[in-house]
A and B are shown apart, each in its own frame.
Chain A
Amino acid sequence: MNRQNIYYMLRLKWVMPLLFVVFLLPSSGWAQEARSVAEDPEAEERLIALTEDLRCLVCQNETIAESRADFSNDMRREIREQIQANKTDSEIIEFLVERYGDFVLYDPPFKPTTFLLWFGPLILFLLGLGTLIFYLRQRRTLVEEEKPLTEAERKQAEALLNENKGNDA
């Protein structure tokens, strides 16, 4: 065996385990992620359903379900644990609201501080409707108030109409 061959062999000896490790690393990560779903798909479904209605406070326009922020990871861990501890959905929601306030909820509760939020659109609609009715009524009175043409005006109008007729012919 010459020198080059030995070098070749040595390198190969390292390459295979390295490749093996490289392929193994990400897959073990995936396997863990997948396992927690497989272990209890029902709990995971509940987790997703719950977190889809919860706001990530760090990235405020994302739900906890879709956010990858550290905060959301912690929340998912917390909720997962509470599901395993057989807490009901409303108990879990209450737990979070106690700590983070109504702001975590994407579906706001119905209470005095949120009345404007709930009724706001209705109030705006009624205001718009009222304005529309007001203007329509005003226009009708304007139409009714219109006086008939005086004799001179009628003659002038007739003259104008006749002029047009002459052009057409």
Chain B
Amino acid sequence: MTRYLLPLVVFLIMVGFLFAGLGLNPRQVPSPLIDKPAPVFQLQQLHDPEKILSSEDNIGKVWLLNVWASWCVACRDEHPLLVQLANAGIVPVYGLNYKDERGTALQWLKQYGDPYAVSVVDPEGRVGINYGVYGVPETYIIDKQGIIRHKQIGPVTVKSMEETILPLVKELQSQS
């Protein structure tokens, strides 16, 4: 009996490992910045280079930081969702315009809509490095204390919006 049972058990264990392992998305590298203070930045605003936005200005409110670029094709997929979110006025979305050109970025926002409370520019991707950005688009949820609570790698989807982002934002907003 064990003669047949043992290979079966070994096989099932392997299936279990493969099922879990192959189900993982290798693109989604867990960020070490979760539950750590969001890296501070002072960056020029996209619409008005004279104005500077500091990440510390946002302390006291829950906000989303969305890393985007006009050259990023996947950004177009998630963009309508961000516009919807901004229109609903649930949580302010700030844009980090990553390694882009001002002219094309502004044109892009005109074409697809501008959901951002403010977009700041990171032409050389230096702030991006501090945030561990490697695959645009990325979206960070930052709480009232300025702590990163969640990082979405790749485009926001209806599923991730409803199951992760919105519930977490509500939970964080209810905290003092």
Report whether chain A binds chain B.
Answer: yes
Contacts A74-B125, A74-B129, A78-B129 known; A101 to B134 CB distance under 8 Å? no
Nearest chain B residue, comparing its CB with the CB of A97: B32
A58 in contact with B134 (CB, 8 Å):
yes
Q: How far is the CB of B107 from chain A (nearest CB, A)?
A: 21
Per-residue CB contact flags for chain A residues 86-128 toward chain B (1 = under 8 Å, else 0) read 0000000000011111110000000000000000000000000
Chain A, interface SS category: helix
Q: Which of B30, B31, B129, B134 is the most central at the interface, judged by chain A CB atoms within 10 Å of its CB?
A: B134
Bound CA span A74–B130, Å: 12
A101 partner residues in chain B, CB cutoff 8 A: 29-32, 132
Question: Inside 8 A of B124's CB, which chain A residues have their CB?
Answer: 74
Of the residues B29, B31, B130, B134, contact of A71 by C-beta under 8 Å? B134
Evaluate contact between B134 and A100: CB separation under 8 angstroms.
Answer: yes
B29 near A100 with CB under 8 A, answer yes
Is B60 among interface residues, defined by CB-CB distance under 8 A?
no
Neighbour of B32 across the interface among A71, A74, A100, CB < 8 A: A100
CB-based nearest A residue for B131 = A99
Known contacts: A99-B129, A101-B31. The answer to whether A60 contacts B26 by CB under 8 A is yes
The answer to whether the Cβ of A57 comes within 8 Å of any Cβ in the partner chain is yes
Q: Are the C-beta atoms of A103 and B129 separated by less than 8 Å?
A: no
> How far apart are the CA atoms of A74 and B128 in the complex, in Å?
10
B33 adjacent to chain A (CB < 8 Å): yes
A99 touches B125 (CB 8 A): no
* Chain A residues whose C-beta falls within 8 Å of the C-beta of B99 in the assembled complex: 70
The B interface, classified by DSSP as helix, strand, loop or mixed, is loop
Q: How many A residues touch the partner, as a band?
A: 10 to 19
Note all chain A residues with C-beta closer than 8 A to B126. Answer: 78
Q: Does B49 lie at the interface of the complex (its beta carbon under 8 Å from any beta carbon of A)?
A: no
Chain B residue numbers with a CB within 8 Å of A58 are 134-135
Which residues in B have their C-beta under 8 angstroms from that of A78?
A: 126, 129
Q: Measured between alpha carbons, how far is A100 from B153 in the docked complex, in Å?
A: 12
From residue B98, how far is it (CB to closest CB) to chain A in Å? Answer: 11
Distance, CA A136 to CA B33, complexed state (A): 52
Residue of B nearest to A58 (CB): B134
CB closest residue in chain A, given B31:
A101
Bound together, the chains give a CA A71 to CA B98 distance in angstroms of 12
In the complex, per-residue mask of B1-37: 1 if CB is within 8 Å of any chain A CB, else 0: 0000000000000000000000000100111110000
A98 to B36, CA, bound (A): 10
Identify the closest chain B residue to A70 (Cβ).
B99
Q: Which residues of B contact A (CB under 8 A)?
A: 26, 29-33, 99, 124-126, 128-132, 134-135
Could you write out 14 A-B pairs with CB less than 8 Å apart?
A: A57-B29, A57-B135, A58-B134, A78-B129, A98-B33, A99-B33, A99-B129, A99-B130, A100-B29, A100-B132, A100-B134, A101-B30, A101-B31, A102-B32
Interface, chain A (partner B; CB < 8 A): 57-58, 60, 70-71, 74-75, 78, 97-103
